[in-house]
Amino acid sequence: MKPAEPVLRQDGVALWRQIAIRLQRDIGAGIYPPGGRLPTEAEMSQQFRVNRHTVRRALEELSRGGMVRVEQGRGSFVAEDVLEYTVEARTRFSEWIRRHNMEPSGRLLQLKETAADSHVAAGLGIRAGGRVVLLERLGFADDRPVSLSQHYFPAARLRGVLDALRAAPTITEALKAVGVTDYLRQTTRVTARLPNAEEAELLRMPRNRPLLVTENINVDRAGMVVEFGLSRYPTPRVQIVFEP
């Protein structure tokens, strides 16, 4: 914990603002690096000799400015550098993360065959209730969660895709195993909303920060839909960029 001098009432500058300025200075100097945890409210209260409400007010100000993210139950962290997710004809998670000199990884949340609801069915161009394979995963850049994605594949159109996804390390490799040698992004639709409790916990983000939500349709070289995806990205950790 970095030693700190107490703040004093002077020059008409509120105590919480003095704390915010000091934290901002320390973050800029690299004392608290991107992604690093800040001292707890109790520790800062002791350092600056103020009550916790004053510390909380300073953190709220830095959070609104995007410099700090406050995670319920986990503490306060320096905001990381923004990852630009460029939507291109071939958009691959691993390539996106490695482009930022980070290591991609993922945690499988579920993989199963199920019935398509009307929304998924419309995206895949099949009838509602048709059989689909769902793969849901949490994607990481180094150890930071940056995406929560649901990938739907038409089971009848891509026979054996469930077993292929179980065996292959990536979606691209699994699709190759069932005859899809290449696939392209046909459409991407982006909206924003606040996360629910589960999304906020998995993505390590506060409930009052929005998610970027994308609906993606991928097709093979013949134009046949092979995947419908729903992905959620935490702001301001991720920006989505469209390039012609």
Residues 78/36, Cβ–Cβ less than 8 Å: yes
pLDDT in tens, 54-111: 999 999 998 887 788 887 778 898 887 788 888 888 888 999 999 888 899 999 999 9
Query: In this predicted structure, what is the pLDDT of residue 1?
Result: 45
What residues does CATH 1.10.10.10 cover in the chain?
Answer: 15-78
Segments of the chain scoring below 70 in pLDDT:
1-11, 244
Instruction: Give the per-residue pLDDT at 143.
Output: 83
| 240 SS3 class | strand
What is 83-242's CATH topology? Chorismate lyase (3.40.1410)
Fold annotation for 15-78: Arc Repressor Mutant, subunit A (1.10.10)
- Specify the pLDDT at position 4: 59
Locate CATH 3.40.1410.10 in the chain.
Answer: 83-242
pLDDT of residue 10: 65
pLDDT of residue 56: 93
Q: Rounded to two decimals, what is the model's pTM?
A: 0.74
